[in-house]
Structure 1
Amino acid sequence: MSFVISTDKDKLDIKKIHQYISVESYWGVGRTIEEVKTTIDHSFCFGIYDKYGEQIGFSRVVTDQILFAYLMDVIIFTKYQGNGYGKHLVDFMMNHVLIKKVKTIALKTKDAHSLYERHGFKKVGNSDFWMSIDKIKL
């Protein structure tokens, strides 16, 4: 398995990201390409690419870089699913200096709880979707 992960937004295949989110995802059906572009413009983004530069997946984070980060749109394109790329992408994100120092990290997922539990995420209350890591001890 040969791949590279980059935070360079210029490498992102916006049309491919839009198609997946707006058609194939359960959370972003109907999102316009303009909305996808805006979310990318206002987020810290990660792209994962194969050895030929083809984009395999995408994710983004909205954060104040100290107290709170929200992981969003974590996707591996259908053709590449089931090969462990999602684990590598989340590993990279969680070890990135921008995320590592944040006190509280949250996300919502319908079906990938085990992917995030290995990083210390726990369900929030009785929610079937919300998960978080909270490093602030009250």
Structure 2
Amino acid sequence: MSQFEISSEPARLDMAVVHGYLSEQSTWAGGMPRALLERAVANSLCFGGYLDGRQIAFARVVSDRATFANLVDVFVLPEYRGRGYSKALMAAVLAHPELQGLRRFMLATADAHGLYAQFGFTAPLRPASLMERYFPDIYQPAK
């Protein structure tokens, strides 16, 4: 039987898998250059999900590790979905010792509200207080 393992050890990340999924399959980071992803990973707390030693899942947390965190780039490779790996990954992220006692933990999702609601995420209590600068096509070539 296969064992799903989650690690926040940066050296274990398979950047080819992470970059391949994010730049070629995700709806939010299509076209992201690998060098940019590597810089983002180096400055984040990242989690890899591994099945028989092969990386099949990923999550990245941008945080000051004291008051605030933003969960980004969460995925399970399509062929492994529906087996509870995303729930295990989320449980590991939220249990990480450096992410305890945060005042605000945010994320943005287009279609996984049900998953995140299971872990206490809700719509913003005061959405009028939130603002953003958002450039959804930043990694796409100029037309």
User: Which bracket does the TM-score occupy, shorter chain normalised?
Assistant: 0.7 to 0.9
Percent identical pairs in the alignment equals 36
Across the aligned residues of Structure 1 and Structure 2, the Cα RMSD in angstroms comes to 1.5
The structure where strand makes up a greater share of residues is 1
Report the alpha carbon displacement of residue 43 of structure 1 after superposing the two structures with TM: 0.3
Report the alpha carbon displacement of residue 100 of structure 1 after superposing the two structures with TM: 2.3
Runs of 4+ displaced beyond 4 Å: none
The residue aligned with 1:8 is: 9
Which whole-Å deviations, capped at 9, do the CAs of 1:21-70 have from their partners, x for residues lacking one? 011110001101111111111100100101x2011101110111111000
1:1-138 maps to which residues of 2 (within 5 A)? 2-50=3-51, 52-124=52-124, 125=127
Residues 65, 101 of structure 1: 8 Å contact kept: no
Report the alpha carbon displacement of residue 82 of structure 1 after superposing the two structures with TM: 1.4
Give the secondary-structure state (helix, strand or coil) at the position aligned to 2:46. Answer: strand
Q: What TM-score results when the alignment is normalised by the length of structure 2? A: 0.83
Give the secondary-structure state (helix, strand or coil) at the position aligned to 1:65. Answer: coil
Give the secondary-structure state (helix, strand or coil) at the position aligned to 2:66. Answer: coil
> Structure 2 unaligned runs (5+)?
129-143
Using the alignment, how far apart are the partners of 2:48 and 2:116 within structure 1?
18
Report the alpha carbon displacement of residue 112 of structure 1 after superposing the two structures with TM: 0.4
Q: What TM-score results when the alignment is normalised by the length of structure 1? A: 0.86
Report the alpha carbon displacement of residue 80 of structure 1 after superposing the two structures with TM: 1.0
Counting matched residue pairs gives: 126
